[in-house]
Each structure stands twice: as C-alpha cells, then as structure tokens.
Chain A
Amino acid sequence: MTRARLATPELVLLVLLVGELVWFSLAATNFLTLDNGLEIVRASAEVGLLALALTPVILTGGIDLSCGALLGLSAVVFGAIWRDAGQPIAVAAAAALGVGLLGGAVNAWMVAGFGRPALIVTLGTASLFRGLAEGLTGGAVNYSGFPASFLHLGQGRVLGLPTQAWVLIAAAALIAVLVHAATIGRALRAIGYAPEGARFAGIPVGRRLALVYLLSGGAAGVAGLVYAARLGQARADAGTGFELSAITAVVLGGTSIFGGRGSVWGTMLGLVALGVLANGLRLADQPAELAGVLTGILLVVAIGVGARRGRA
C-alpha cells in the first residue's frame, strides 16, 4: 500500500511552511487573516491545478513543460468561441476543455506513442501551443467582458471559500485517488522507478503514460477557464511561466524528479508554501524579485535536505 504517513521531504516542507507563517505574521501587515489566506488560495488555483496534474506525470519520470502554454491556448479559444463565434459560455468552456485535452493528446501521442523524450517533446509543444495562441489572436486580441455568472468562477465565493478553491479541492481529490489509492498509482510509480521492469511486469506503459499526459492537458484547460474568470480577460500570453511554478511546487513537495516517488499531499504543501512566500513578502513591503531569489534557495534547501541516494 502507498504510504499514508509523511515522508521526510513533506515533513521538512511542513516545518518550512510553519516557519514562513510565523515569520510573516510578525513581519508583514495583516498577513494572518482569513481573508488573506483565502486570497492566497484564489491566486494559486491555476498553478495548483497544473501542479496537481503534473504530479502523476513526474511520478512516471516524465515532465510537461507545455502546460502553461496550453492554459493560454485554452483561454484564448474560450474567448474566441464565445465572442467571435457567438456561442454560449457553456459551449465555449467545453471548447476550452477540448483544446486542453487535445493538447494533452499531442503530448501523449509523442511521448507514449512514439516514445520520444518528454522534455524535448513538451518543449516543442510549449512553443507550438503558445505560438498557436499568438497566431490566432495576432497577439493583440484580448477577450473580455465575460458575463458575471462566468466571472463568479474566478472572483466569487461558494460557502465562504473562493469558487476555484472547490475546483482545486475536487482536482486534488481526483488526483489523490489516482496516485495513492488506485492500482494505477502503483503502476505509475513502477514506470517511474523502472520503466523496463514495469513493461515486463505486464503494465500497459503506453496507456498509463497517455493517461497522465491527457490529464495534464485537461487540467490546463480547466486552469485556462479559471484564469479567464479570475482576471476577466483572456490573452495569448496567459499562463506564461506557470509551468515552472508548477514544477517548483511539485518538487518542493517531495516528488522526485526522476520518478517513482511522490505524493499529492506534498504537492499541495509545496503550492501553499510558495503562495505564502510570495504573499507574505508582498505584505512585508519587499520587492517581487526577493520572492524569486528565496524560492530558488528554498528549492535547493528543500531537495537537499530531502535528498536520498538516487541516480545522479
């Protein structure tokens, strides 16, 4: 059975997180309030969705550098279908999800089907997806003016929590079941740990890999909708750099970049730690660059402490 207790990396992260909370409650203004906490969740939801779907991908020893670009493409397609094609919001949203899944399918086809290395495939698809978004809009078009009912997804609250928090919770539950409870989870870890062994053990490696990349694409589609709802606009550069933040959250959370080891709980902790860091520094009147420097240091310290003797 996959472990239920906290492993060392998650424990280290928890300590770091508590440290952040203590530090910022002293150094920053109005940090430790419920409103601020909810705002942190609201701001992290899109990266959170990407990070959650990235966890099983990295578990298999793969990576997806194209999820941020796919978020942008989905958001732009959403805007285009709604405004230019005059379709109702629900149809536009379905189109966005469809684009996300399609993008995931391209990744799945090349990585699982052709067996090409995920790093370079998703590097290529990142350029392709972002490029498609830029080409379709000429870069200049900015879709906005969405109806209030849609904006509620990104700006409203349901039962006291930001609406997208519920989406995030649902996604976390789904991915957690996939990674920790279902047999598929063990299959994914096996693929990450020893791909050849997994194949000989009868695991349908191609199908499993295809699933995780498809899921990553779907998550990017949902994240694109949340983004458009939160900001009230959709432009070709939406989601720039999100994949790096997502990867940071996942790795911070203890998932090994080589595959075979990791947890959804760790990813959520990593996400929160990053969100709290950025938010706390802002409230402490520190410039944005400091968040970047400290994130880098945090990453090195966290993986350094949690590192095991693995492949170097």
Chain B
Amino acid sequence: MTRRTMAVAFGLGLGLLTLGAAGACRGGGSAAPDGALTVAMMPKNKGNPYFVSCRQGAEEAAQQLGVKLLWDGPTETDPAKQNDVVEAWITRGVQAIAVSVENREAMSTVLRKARGKGIKVVTWDADADPDARDAFVNQATPAGIADVLLGHAARLSGPAGGEIGIITGSLTAANQNTWIAEMRKLLPTKYPTLTIVDIRPSDDDRKKAFDETQTLLRVHPKVKVIMAIASPAVPGAAEAVKQSGRKDVGVTGLGLPNASKPYLLDGVLDSAVLWNTKDLGYLTVQVATALAKGTPIVGTTQFPGGRLGQLEVRGDNVILGTPFTFTKANVGGFDF
C-alpha cells in the first residue's frame, strides 16, 4: 500500500472513530416535528458550565413548545466567531435568534441585519444595543449583582471591613468588567469599609483560579474575602482557600450550585450568588418563540413564562427575577 493510501485511510479511519466515539458520548439533542419554528440560541462560550446549565432549560422549553432549538456558538470566547455564527443563521433562515452578547458593538451590527430580514432577535444574559433586538431577557441588573456581592463581602469581613481580592474571568470579559465597575461605584458610598486590593484573571480556568488565589493569599496576607466572579473560578478559589487552611478568609462569588455544593457544605464557601440559569435558558426560548409567533413584548406588563408563571416586563426587558444566593442551607434543592 502506498504511503498516500495509508495516509488517506488512516485519516478517514481516525476521523470516523473520533466522530463515532464523540457522538456516542454525547447526549441527544432536541427533536422537533417538521415545519416547526426554529429558534437559534447562542451562549458566549459553549464550554463554560454556566452556559451548559442554561442550555438544559432551553432544551426543556423547546421540547415543551415544540420548536426546533439550534444551540451553537464559539467554543472559546472568541470575539469574532459570534458574528460568523449569526451570519450563518441569517443565511440559513431561522425564525428567532437569541444571543448572550459578548461584544456589544460587534453583535449589534449583525443583529440589526437579522432584524432587517424579519428574524426576531432576543438577547439574554448580556445585552446588545436596544435597537438591535426585540427584547432582552434580563436576569438581574449589573448594579444589583454588584450590590449583592458586596453585601456578602461586607457581612463576611465584619464591621471593621477589610480587603477583598477578586478573581475574575478573563481580563477582557465584558460582564465581569461591568460588575467590577459597578462595585467600584458602590464602594465609597455604600461600603466604605471595604477595599478591592487586587483583581486577578482566571481565564475561566478552574486551575488558574486556584493558582491565582493561592498567590493572592500570600501577597495580601490581610485579605478578608475572596470574591470569585466567574463560575469556573468559584470552585478553584474555594479549593485554594480550603487547602491553605485559612479559616479567617471568607469566600463568596458568582457560581453554580452543583460546583459550589461541596464547598458550601463544608463551610469554605460562604455563599454563591446567581440566578436560576436553567430558568434563564427556559425563559429565553419562551420569549423567542412568543416573538416568532407574533406576540409583542413591548407594551405589555407581564409575560406568561410557562412553568415560571407570570413574569414582569419593563419596557423591552423581561425580568427573570433578582439575584439568588445559594447557601449551605438551600443548595441541596437545586441541580444544575
């Protein structure tokens, strides 16, 4: 057999093997009857556990409503790729597009184009320009999130206050940067005893969050609270504090209940702030489908969100609720 033939055979065999193995490990997607509406939904980053849990809710709603759900997006937080995916959906022709926007300006351009072609556009988790979408499914305002986080930090550091070390996602992450900016605004007025002593990036990698927290604890030995504001960072930071044996350091942050549960239960992690990400995904598909069917959002005050009941509508924002704090006491009741 010539080398060429071997190469081709090897390559193809390897390819089929990879796809077969990978396909076997995967769960199934949602099937929908032909002629059904297609809702295309995009997270910021498919690999992040936060978005993985949003997807579960989205699939649930798609099944309930009988719509076809396309779930795709960049595999890492690549600014350019989100645009390419939406362009493809416009070409393919879908009835509604729901995007968690990583790049506001870049996405707004292409979302306006989608609206121009009659596709309904919904943003969720992170917004685009108001004229680029029909509705925004808002889980909580950045100011609200910042306030809740600082509230926990204040409680953990006690009446004397103290130093906070923040572990963020990546340095370029828009949501995290917005929350940090909001926190800085609140500090002098509402939380004067707290200071942010350092902000370290985790690049959404648990190990990096662990390493940075370890170092932070040594560089700033007086730090009272570690605040991890990216969901892969919470278990990393908590593990680092646990291994250091520093019982005087409190840990809080934005995290998923399943990943946070072990640390909440053994007391290292005090609280994890979030919202029900499954519900967020669920509601987004509900809103997108309603819009695609012609039901308007603007002008109403309430939106029927399926199993979520009636939800408040403020202008063009559908509000999921307020940030929720997972604690040792309540985390057992959640599974995502």
Our pick among B3, B22, B92, B174 for the contact of A142 (Cβ within 8 Å) is: B174
Q: Which residues of B contact A307 (CB under 8 A)?
A: 3-4, 7
Given contacts A235-B172, A304-B4, contact A227 B11 (CB under 8 A): no
Q: Which residues of A contact B143 (CB under 8 A)?
A: none
Q: Which residues of B contact A30 (CB under 8 A)?
A: 91-93
Q: Is there contact, CB below 8 Å, between B105 and A145? A: yes
Within 8 A of A (CB), among B1-59: 3-4, 6-8, 10-12, 14-15, 18-19, 22, 46
Q: Which residues of B contact A155 (CB under 8 A)?
A: 109
Tally chain B residues at the interface, Cβ within 8 Å.
47
Q: Which residues of A contact B73 (CB under 8 A)?
A: 288
Q: Is there contact, CB below 8 Å, between B11 and A297? A: yes
Within 8 A of A (CB), among B157-187: 170-172, 174, 177
Q: Is B286 an interface residue (CB 8 A)?
A: no
Q: Interface readout for A269-293 with B: 1 if CB under 8 Å, 0 if not?
A: 0000000001100110101111011
Given contacts A235-B172, A287-B72, A307-B4, contact A278 B84 (CB under 8 A): yes
Q: Is B80 an interface residue (CB 8 A)?
A: yes
Within the complex, the shortest CB–CB distance from A141 to chain B, in Å, comes to 9
In the complex, how many residue pairs between chain A and chain B have their CB atoms under 8 Å apart?
134
Tally chain A residues at the interface, Cβ within 8 Å.
49
Q: Interface readout for A128-140 with B: 1 if CB under 8 Å, 0 if not?
A: 0000001000111
Q: Is there contact, CB below 8 Å, between A232 and B109? A: yes
Q: Is A43 an interface residue (CB 8 A)?
A: yes
Query: When chains A and B are docked, how far (Å) is the Cα of A35 from the Cα of B90?
Result: 11
Minimum CB distance partner of A133 in chain B: B172
Q: Is there contact, CB below 8 Å, between B78 and A241? A: yes
Minimum CB distance partner of A286 in chain B: B72
Q: Which residues of A contact B7 (CB under 8 A)?
A: 300-301, 303-305, 307
Q: Interface readout for B71-89 with A: 1 if CB under 8 Å, 0 if not?
A: 1111111111101110111
Q: Is A25 an interface residue (CB 8 A)?
A: no
Within the complex, the shortest CB–CB distance from B170 to chain A, in Å, comes to 7
Within the complex, the shortest CB–CB distance from B172 to chain A, in Å, comes to 5
Query: When chains A and B are docked, how far (Å) is the Cα of A173 from the Cα of B182?
Result: 50
Q: What 8 pairs between A and B have smallest CB-CB spacing?
A: A304-B7, A139-B171, A231-B106, A282-B88, A144-B105, A301-B11, A297-B15, A233-B105
Given A233-B79, A300-B11: 16 more A-B contacts, CB < 8 Å: A33-B91, A46-B80, A139-B170, A151-B109, A231-B103, A231-B106, A232-B106, A232-B108, A235-B79, A236-B171, A236-B172, A282-B85, A283-B88, A294-B15, A304-B4, A307-B3
**Interchain Cβ contacts under 8 Å between A and B, 24 examples:** A28-B92, A39-B87, A138-B171, A139-B170, A139-B171, A142-B105, A144-B104, A144-B105, A231-B83, A232-B105, A233-B104, A233-B106, A235-B103, A237-B79, A238-B79, A240-B78, A282-B85, A297-B14, A303-B7, A304-B3, A304-B6, A304-B11, A305-B7, A307-B4
Interface residues of B (CB under 8 A from A): 3-4, 6-8, 10-12, 14-15, 18-19, 22, 46, 70-81, 83-85, 87-89, 91-93, 103-106, 108-109, 170-172, 174, 177, 201
Interface residues of A (CB under 8 A from B): 28-31, 33, 35-36, 39, 43, 46, 134, 138-140, 142, 144-145, 151, 155, 227, 230-233, 235-238, 240-241, 278-279, 282-283, 285, 287-290, 292-294, 297, 300-301, 303-305, 307
